[in-house]
Chain A
Amino acid sequence: MDRLRRMLFWVIVGVTALFLLLPTLIIVPMSFTTTTTLEFPPVGFTLDWYGKVIGAADWQSALINSLVVAVAAAALATVVGTAAALALHAHRFPGKTVVMGLLLSPMVTPVIVLAVGMYMVFSGWGLVATRLGLVLAHTVLAIPFVVVSVLASAGMVNPSLAPASLGLGASRWFTFRRVTLPLIMPGVLSGAVFAFITSWDEVVIALFLADAQTRTVPIMIWNQVRTNLDPATAAVAAILILLSALGVLLSYKFRDARP
């Protein structure tokens, strides 16, 4: 009875793990199929779909848009979010809980609500169909991730180091550059990676803010999936998964790095 229960338990857990992994695992093999429809298991082996995607002008411009927007949004979110996280970590001030709530609330706001709200406001400001509009919108989404990541990292730093540096006569800026920043670097970098991936994967806001010139890779995928499912989409997906995997490895490397 006990044995049976134990076995049943592990079967359920195993099936759940398979359920979690299955959709990710089938994408990459499907991109190698020689058929023109998506097949799993794939038939034959070809890299043509990759060539087709990499050679297509619209995918290239989408890729450039995605990279520019994600790098800019990650940079902006990292600078602004790190500064805010340091203040939240090091200081007590009135309204701190409110500020904290504000900084984290983009994480729990339904993206569709943000998308339509930004669409209405940004169209008045001439930001719709511009890369800048996308950068600003994605920065909003990314700030909470940077704040959380830097706060976690700052929490592990010995709190007497910065006062010691100041006490020894170093300026505030010198203390920040040479003491605080190196110590929180793992959190800053993993926050930056999070921010990049947030923008890189974002589709709902981009659907509202981007046009044919500024559309990003997720928009291209969205259009493909809605119209015709072909192995080229799987090839793009495989490239994106590879990039995400690299990002994750980087972020864990940063997080585990001991200053």
Chain B
Amino acid sequence: MNVSAQDGGAPASARAPWPFRVPSAFWLIAPAVLFLVLFFVFPLLKLVAISLPDGSVEYYEQIFTTPVFLRVIGETFRVSLIVTVVTVAVAYPYAYAMAHGGRAALLILTVALLIPFWVSLLLRSFSWIVLLQNSGLINDFLIATGLIEKPVRLIRTPFGVMIGMVHILLPYAVLPLYTVMKKIDLRLMEASSICGASWFKGFMRIYFPLSMPGVAASAILAFTLALGFYITPALLGSPRDMMIAQMIAGQFNEQLNFGLGAALAVVLMVLTAIAVGLFGAARAVLQSRGRSKGGV
């Protein structure tokens, strides 16, 4: 029933006053649009419908009045925010080195950035389990250097989740920063030092403000992606530090409360849409300054 409704929708727009040659554009684009409407938009709309049985907002009321849901949403925000700050802070010098460190550095750093980018998220989380476990490399190293005496619990803690998330988000954060930084003229910094400014002052007053569009773009991108993380928290975290994606999965897999799960999914969708909107705005600012095309 719904299928035929979607089918009927698309050709109707073809009768709009299209300019010359457009029928061919229409036939080129129709399969992709139809496909996504059926298998992408429709499932999302279905979730909205399930979350509002008979137009009642009871599930949303339940989410926003029950402490456990509020805690998970709050935890998702907290983890995403910390992870974003750490990721951008680590990405900043890395992108700087790529932009201004010379050809050899650029090559090596790009390879180091792209290799993990191409290894699946699941495998990298698996690898972090091995590295962070009590008998893992990180604990062995800390014991060998005498920093600690017996293994510290790293896995199944918020710390483990954050390490794994920063690792996955880092390439996404570096690329927009690099795009902006490579267009910044370093002679501005020279000029400031000739005029007597210290390196730190020159950096804070000139370089950092110029790199701001990249910082904004990479922060919002990292935050958007962090909100929806499922695999990494599920493998590296404990159930106590659950994030919203795990809670959604739990409602569908274990609690079998589809209405509530759908409402949680809609909440995550809306939060992500807001973050993506901010990302778009940051990119628009970035482009209007004529510095780069930005983005990943």
In Å, the complex CA distance between A79 and B215 comes to 36
Nearest CB on A from B284, distance (A):
13
Contacts of B131 in A (CB 8 A): 22-23, 26, 40
In Å, the complex CA distance between A84 and B28 comes to 5
Task: Name the segment of B15-23, B59-67, B180-188, B204-212 touching the other chain.
Answer: B15-23
In Å, the complex CA distance between A226 and B121 comes to 15
**Cβ contact within 8 Å between A137 and B39:** yes
B189-226 residues with Cβ-Cβ distance < 8 A to A are: 199, 224
Given A23-B124, A27-B127, A143-B35, decide whether A204 and B29 contact each other with a Cβ distance below 8 A.
no
For A22, the closest partner residue in chain B by CB is B131
For B29, the closest partner residue in chain A by CB is A87
Contacts of A208 in B (CB 8 A): 252
Contacts of B121 in A (CB 8 A): 201, 203
The reply to whether the CB of A245 lies closer than 8 angstroms to some CB of chain B is yes
Contacts of B90 in A (CB 8 A): 16, 19
**Cβ contact within 8 Å between B109 and A13:** yes
Given A13-B109, A26-B137, decide whether A99 and B231 contact each other with a Cβ distance below 8 A.
no
**Cβ contact within 8 Å between B18 and A84:** no
The reply to whether the CB of B25 lies closer than 8 angstroms to some CB of chain A is yes
Given A5-B199, A13-B93, decide whether A24 and B119 contact each other with a Cβ distance below 8 A.
yes
**Cβ contact within 8 Å between B122 and A113:** no
For B136, the closest partner residue in chain A by CB is A40
The reply to whether the CB of B162 lies closer than 8 angstroms to some CB of chain A is no
Given A87-B25, A225-B235, decide whether A116 and B228 contact each other with a Cβ distance below 8 A.
no
Chain A residues bordering chain B, tally (CB within 8 A): 81
Q: How many residues of B sit at the interface, in one of the four size bands?
A: 35 or more
Given A19-B167, A113-B228, A120-B262, decide whether A225 and B126 contact each other with a Cβ distance below 8 A.
yes
In Å, the complex CA distance between A147 and B28 comes to 12
**Cβ contact within 8 Å between A87 and B28:** yes
**Cβ contact within 8 Å between A93 and B35:** no
In Å, the complex CA distance between A204 and B231 comes to 8
**Cβ contact within 8 Å between B118 and A110:** no
**Cβ contact within 8 Å between B120 and A240:** yes
Contacts of B272 in A (CB 8 A): 108-110, 113
The reply to whether the CB of B129 lies closer than 8 angstroms to some CB of chain A is yes
**Cβ contact within 8 Å between B128 and A21:** no
The reply to whether the CB of A233 lies closer than 8 angstroms to some CB of chain B is yes
The reply to whether the CB of B108 lies closer than 8 angstroms to some CB of chain A is yes
Set B43, B249, B265: member contacting A121, Cβ < 8 A: B43
**Cβ contact within 8 Å between A84 and B33:** yes
Contacts of A178 in B (CB 8 A): none
Contacts of B252 in A (CB 8 A): 116, 119, 208
A204-238 residues with Cβ-Cβ distance < 8 A to B are: 204, 207-208, 218, 221-222, 225-226, 229, 233, 237
B 101-129 binary contact with A (CB < 8 Å = 1; else 0)? 10001001100111110111111111111
In Å, the complex CA distance between A120 and B113 comes to 37
The reply to whether the CB of A169 lies closer than 8 angstroms to some CB of chain B is no
**Cβ contact within 8 Å between A10 and B127:** no
Contacts of A121 in B (CB 8 A): 39, 42-43, 46
The reply to whether the CB of A241 lies closer than 8 angstroms to some CB of chain B is yes
Nearest CB on B from A250, distance (A):
12
In Å, the complex CA distance between A91 and B26 comes to 10
**Cβ contact within 8 Å between A118 and B227:** no
B1-39 residues with Cβ-Cβ distance < 8 A to A are: 13, 16, 18-19, 21-22, 24-26, 28-29, 31-33, 35-37, 39
For A218, the closest partner residue in chain B by CB is B122
Contacts of B130 in A (CB 8 A): 26, 30, 38, 40, 229
> What are 12 A-B pairs with beta-carbon distances under 8 A?
A5-B199, A17-B112, A91-B22, A94-B16, A108-B276, A109-B269, A117-B43, A119-B252, A143-B32, A203-B122, A225-B235, A248-B118
Question: Which 9 A/B pairs are nearest by Cβ-Cβ distance?
Answer: A110-B228, A117-B43, A23-B127, A84-B32, A201-B120, A87-B28, A91-B25, A17-B112, A112-B245
Given contacts A23-B128, A121-B39, 18 further A-B contacts (CB under 8 A): A5-B199, A17-B108, A17-B112, A40-B137, A80-B32, A84-B32, A95-B13, A103-B36, A105-B40, A109-B269, A110-B230, A113-B268, A114-B43, A118-B39, A122-B43, A197-B118, A201-B121, A241-B119
